[in-house]
Amino acid sequence: MSFKILPISAFKDNYIWLITIEGKKNGIVVDPGDATPVLNALKTKQITLSAILLTHHHGDHTDGVKELLKHYPVPVYGPAHDNIPTVTHLLNDNDQINFPELNLSLRAIDIPGHTRGHIALANDEMLFCGDTLFTGGCGRLFEGTAEQLFTSLNKLAALPDNTAVYCGHEYTQNNLRFAHAVEPNNVDLQQRMITTKELRDANLPTVPSTILLEKKTNPFLRCHVPAVIKAAEQYAGHPLKDAVSVFACLRRWKDSF
């Protein structure tokens, strides 16, 4: 049996992920910021919702929960430290959750930075990382420090190379434009820009990617690479003492890019 993980588009560029498995009629949604497209997708695919998973408290990831609960009174799993009133099952770092009806187990990973309590949900095959690791980039620092977000991203980068990366937004093209400004000579990045453009021109999602592709092309996971250090130091106008400083500089640079 294999998993089918479908993007449900919401708002301008959000992805709500629907996890299903071939031959079963149950599904789980991740980060339902809007109920309507989720209810439509469940109806069309004749899927019964069995749980809701949340990565962080922002409205574009949580505002659909109340309405979904009216139709499906299911458990809501979410971060222990992000104060989300609709969460029924609080998840701490390393907590394991099991969904036997889908043959699915996921582990919570604390990844603070974008928000204080942001979590990822992962196993060896798939990673749901909300607004922390993006395809080709990373989330903004709203509640945490650069050092926290850097540590969080490194935790995700340590997952197996072929883990599929499901993030919360379609930002790849924009992120890769920045990545290219940092590392114009990165051949893997140049290739990724071509494939990304082809997908977007055909109106197809560029998510998921893989941990391996992110390590090869995402500047925020490459703060130890000489070319990236050099570009960051040029932008900063002075030497940077360590990888965290390189990361903080890239994040500031991207904020005004």
Annotated catalytic residues are 56, 58, 60-61, 114, 131, 169
Q: Minimum distance from CB of 76 to Zn ion (Å)?
A: 17
Among 82, 110, 131, 214, binds Fe ion (CB under 5 A): 131
Shortest reach from residue 58's CB to Fe ion, in Å: 5
Q: C-alpha distances in angstroms, 134 versus 46, 70, 168, 210?
A: 30, 31, 8, 11
Give the interface size with Zn ion as a residue count (CB under 5 A). Answer: 2
* Both structure tokens of 2: 């294999």
> DSSP assignment of 188-221, as one string?
HHHHHHHHHHHHHHTT-----EEHHHHHHH-GGG
Residues between 41 and 80 with contacts to Zn ion, criterion CB under 5 A:
58
Of the pair 33, 245, the CB lying nearest Zn ion is at 33
Closer of 62 and 218 to Fe ion (Cβ): 62
Tokens matching residue 37: 């497209």
Among 31, 34, 82, 131, binds Zn ion (CB under 5 A): 131
Q: Using CB under 5 A, which residues numbered 150 to 189 contact Fe ion?
A: 168
Separation between Cα atoms, residue 90 and residue 168, nearest integer Å: 20
Question: Which residue number, 58 or 180, has a Cβ lying nearer to Zn ion?
Answer: 58
Q: Is 60 one of the binding residues for Fe ion (CB under 5 A)?
A: yes
- The count of residues interacting with Fe ion (CB under 5 A) is 3
Instruction: Tell me the three state secondary structure of residue 133.
Output: strand
Residue 115, C-beta contacts closer than 8 angstroms, at least 6 positions apart: 56, 57, 58, 82, 131, 142, 143, 144
Fill in the amino acid letter for 159.
L
110 or 131, CB closer to Zn ion? Answer: 131
List residues binding Zn ion (CB under 5 A).
58, 131
